[in-house]
Amino acid sequence: MTELDESYHGISYTETYGKKAYIVKARMQLMRDFGVYPAAHSVFLLNLGLETLAVRMKQYCENTMTVAEYLEQSDKVEKVNYLGLKSDENYGLARKYLSGCSGVISFVIKGGKETAIKFMNKLQPASNEVHVSYTNLRITPCK
């Protein structure tokens, strides 16, 4: 704060800005490094998202667990990798170190590479977009 800042034209923040030195330095360097500072409403929305993150992540993990359990019961799936499943080799570590298991699942389809390729070719991507009604979203299961 008192030294000359060569990364910002050799300015001394305390000498130039006095009591406002800290906030000016923070704002000037953030603007330079990250672009323009966000508007107040944008920050409000970002904060709102952060405040509800725990609730959303809990539901995200529960939804993923439902899908993982469904896949594990399928006679067309050889193996499911999901830390939330008791059958997963790292289940114990996940319970010890994590408070949730995310939304990442991988699985092996019975039938080998050719069957997996047929499955992937039949997938229809779903798009989850903000402000789009879920009643209009259709996911067609593979046959």
Mean pLDDT, range 29-46, rounded to an integer: 82
Residue 84: exposed, middle, or buried by beta-carbon count in 10 A (0-12, 13-18, 19+)? Answer: buried
pLDDT at 97: 92
pLDDT digits (tens, 9 = 90+) for 1-21: 888 988 888 889 999 999 999
Domain covering 53-136 assigned CATH 3.90.1150.10 in the classification:
yes
Whether the Cβ atoms of residue 101 and residue 84 lie closer than 8 Å to each other: yes
pLDDT digits (tens, 9 = 90+) for 93-140: 999 998 888 888 999 999 999 999 999 889 887 766 665 444 444 444
Q: Could you tell me which residue, 76 or 140, shows the higher pLDDT?
A: 76
DSSP bridge pairs for 11: 5
And the tokens for 102? 């995310």
pTM: 0.58
Q: How many Cβ atoms are within 10 Å of 90's Cβ, its own excluded?
A: 15
Enclosing H/E stretch for 111: none
Q: Domain locations in the chain? A: 53-136
Average pLDDT, the chain: 85
Instruction: For residues 143 and 125, give the distance between their C-alpha atoms in angstroms, rounded to a whole number.
Output: 15
pLDDT at 78: 95
